[in-house]
Every structure is written in C-alpha cells, then in structure tokens.
Structure 1
Amino acid sequence: MSRWPRVVLFGDSLTQRSSHPNGWATHIAQQLQRQCDVLNRGFSGYNTDHAIQFLSKIIDAKLLQDVVFITIFFGANDAVLPECYTKQHVPVDRYQTNLVKIVEHFQSLGITSEKIILIAPPPVDAELRAKDLLESGDKPCLDRINDATIEYAKACVKVANSKKCRVIDLFTLMINKHLPTYLNDGLHFSDEGNSLLASELSTHVKELTKELDMNLPDWKDLCGVE
C-alpha cells in the first residue's frame, strides 16, 4: 500500500466540532481504525459562499488521493435570516448552486458520485438558540428558524438526487424529535445528536469501506502466535 486510504469531512462548525470527544467524526474514526485516516476540514461560521471562495485551497487533488468517501455538510449558516447582524445569509437558490459547484469540483478531481455524501442542515431549537445568544452576549437577534432551514434542507436533497450522490436528510430525521436532546445550544449537536448522525452515516461507511482490509498485519501474525 503506497498511501493510506482517507476520508474527508467538509463543512462548517457542525463538522469542525465533530472531532471533539463523542463527536460524529470521532465515531467514524473509531469505526475505521486501521482502515482509513479521517481528515476534518470543518470551518466554523462558514457558508457555501466561503467554501467556494477557498475550495481549491482547502481540498485539492493531492488531498483527494485514495479517498474512499467525502461528506459535504453546509447550510446551517447559509440559512441565517437575511436581516440578522451576522451577514452569513446565502439565498437558497445560490446555496443550491454552490453545492452543485462543490460536488462538481470533487467529481472533476476523480471522486465519483457514489463516494460523495451530502448532509442536509438539521433543524434548530429556537428557544435554546435564543437563550444561548442571550447568555453569550450577542445581539438579541434570533438568527435561524426552521421555516427557513427546511428550504435549505430540501435544496441539499435536490442537489444530491440530481448529481446521484448519497444524502442524509438530517432535517427530516430530527424535526419531530425532542430537539433539546440532540442540540445542546439550539444549533450544535449534543452527544446524542452526534450519535444520531454517526448512526445514519454508519451504513454508508460500511458500504463504502467493505473492500478495505485492516492496514498492516495483526501483531499475532508478526509474532507467530496461533
């Protein structure tokens, strides 16, 4: 084996934070021990405009060598309400176009649609989000609502279907659940939220890595232990 197989996770803070203890990336890394390196390319606060701006610098052909799959997880920041002070809002039509550009960038570098997993943005818990913003000292502007986020989730699923990629519709999976269980601040995942996404990803991970052997011989084989 000339290079170690790898997985690339690309997204915003919901990806950046996923390498924390009990994060969904940590679950995936545990699942793939001695099979793949798991590379976290999450950028807190980024929307798809930002991702497009730095795409060729963040993920190039060299990084994608021997990639077994890649996740694309944006939308939580794009869906910020346009009147909000953060200026992170990206209109849903441009968000959809940006996702297509991201997918096509990876495809141009040799990543097939089968190896691309889009993840739709999850719902928000408005009460928890408002409380967190108040406690953090930010301006009292409720920046995200589910009536807006659902449109971004739909757009993400639409792109995945049109480009024949894999997709996890996290919004639909979570919207009827008790959101405070899965979101610790109304936006970011609790341990339970991380476990939920990791579980949904697990089936895709198994399918995409089933041909991979454990890297390097077992120690018992090296020592001649029967």
Structure 2
Amino acid sequence: MAKAKFVLFGDSITQQSFLPAGGWGAALADRYARKADIILRGLSGYNSRWALFLLDRIFPTAALNPPVLVTVFFGANDAALPDRKSKAQHVPLSEYKENLQRIVSHLKGLSPSTRVVLITPPPIDVRGRQAYARYLRRATYGDSAEELPERTNEAAGEYAQACKAAAKEAEVPIIDLYSIFQQNPNWQELYLCDGLHLTAEGNTVVFEELVKILNSIGLAEENLPLDFPLYSDVDPLDPEKICRP
C-alpha cells in the first residue's frame, strides 16, 4: 500500500514552510514521519490565477496515487494593491474567490479520499511592510525611495473573507489565519517577520491549526499506518520479511 501524500500548495508562505527555524511544513513532516510524504509545492510570488495553470501539472487527474490531503494557501499576493509596486500580482476579489473554487473542484475530482484545506491570507502589518520596503529600496535607490505599502490589512481582510466564503460553499475546512493571528494583541511582531511572512511563532500557529483539522477529518498521525515495521518487530533471522506483503 502506497504511503499517504500531503501536498502543500501555495505561495511564498508555503514555500518557506520548510525553513529551519520552525517552518510549519517541516513540523508537519516531523509529525507524520513514516506515515505520510509531505510534498512542497510552494511558489513564491504566485497568485491564484497563475496557480490554475499548474493544476494539471501538479495534480494530474490520472495519477495512480493521488494525495489524501492538499492545503491551498493563496491570497497574500492576490491582495496586492493594483496601483502599487506589486500590481502584477493583484487579482480582483471576485476572480480570487472563483479561482479558489476552481482549484478546490479540481482537487476534489482527484479522488473521493482527497481532502482539501483552505488557508486565508494572513493579516498585514503595514509598518512592517514599510520598514522592509525602506530597507530594500534604500539599498538600491537611496533615501529618496518610495515607501508606500504595496499591501494593506484592510485589503487582506477582504480576501480572507472571500477565502472563507469559498470554503463554506465548497464545504471544505479552513484555517482563518487572518482572524486567528489578530486575536493576539502583539500579532504584528509575534507572528510576522516583515509585515507579511511568518516568524517561527506564526509557523507554529499554522501547524497547530492544521493538526486540529487533520485530527477532525480522520487524518490524525496515529491513525495512519507505518511504511515499514518498527525495528523492534524486525526478525533478525529473516529481515527480508519487512518487504513482503
């Protein structure tokens, strides 16, 4: 029997989920060691529109071993303001919701056992984004660099609501990261390293919330079989038995 596959599909926040300092994808791989293969498909800078073009490449419908879980974590780039530096990443709100629905529909069509979890974009700390932009731009353009934020927390909130609506209509679980983070009064410094991407603490929140959902949908770590017997169960006189059905 093939080992379960969990695919993490998203933008840079997913791509960075295997960073050494407490990435949520790395924590998931550790939790599910020998129980599931954690496959990273995070694409820095991508939005939901561009993700649609990759569905058949990353998730072919004829796959013999489709994933049992896919996390879908887009929206932070879609919510970039259309008149600022990151305007190429912007996707209108209504299209973003429709894109998520199309992604979920494709993933559900892979197999009756494939489960999908949506994750909202995180809140935006505008001061953190401005400080990060100031650092980058002054290094390149000097003190006259523009410091207007390319994202706002208000816009991120609208996209988070659209993500929640898409999850409700598709009847899939969701991690409302936008709301969860802001329950902590110090969320800006605690969970975000540059006003957008996650600190180790922010990664921990994603991991813990995802584990709660996995436990609730029958994918708890203890419910999945080991890929091979424990070493204590290996017959030293006939170790080849570990490879027999």
Instruction: Give the shorter-chain TM-score range.
Output: over 0.9
Residues 68 and 113 in structure 2, CA contact (< 8 A), matched pair in contact too: no
CA distance in 2, matches of 1:63, 1:163: 23
1:96 alignment partner AA: K
Contact 1:64 1:109 in 2 (8 A): no
Whether the 8 Å CA contact 2:11–2:43 is kept in 1: the answer is yes
Q: How many Å separate the matches in 2 of 1:53 and 1:66? A: 19
- Shift of the 7–106 alpha-carbon distance from structure 1 to 2, 3 Å rule, reads same
**Residue of 165, 173, 186 corresponding to 2:180:** 173
- Deviation track 1:81-111 (CA, whole Å, cap 9, x = no partner) reads 1101222111110000000010011122225
1:215 alignment partner, one of 227, 231, 235: 227
- C-alpha separation in 2, matches of 1:44 and 1:134: 21
Report the residue type matching 2:96 in the other structure.
Y
Structure 1 residues without counterparts, runs of 5 or longer:
none
Question: How many residues were matched structurally?
Answer: 222
- CA-atom RMSD in angstroms: 1.7
**Paired residue type of 1:220:** S
Q: Any idea what the Cα deviations from partners look like across 1:93-134, whole Å, max 9, x if unmatched?
A: 000000001001112222557x11000011011111111111
Unaligned stretches of 5+ residues in structure 2: 141-145, 237-245
After TM superposition, give the deviation of residue 141 of structure 1 in Å: 3.1
**Correspondence for 1:25:** 25
1:4/1:66 contact within 8 Å kept: no
**SS in structure 2 of the partner of residue 117 of structure 1:** strand
Percent identity, aligned pairs only? 36
Counterpart residue type for residue 157 of structure 1: K
Question: Conserved in 2, the CA contact under 8 Å of 1:17 and 1:23?
Answer: yes
Structure number with larger C-alpha Rg: 2
Provide the rounded CA distance (Å) in 2 between the counterparts of 1:189 and 1:64: 35
Letter in 1 for 2:106: H
Matched, 1:150 2:157: yes
- 1:34 Cα shift? 0.7
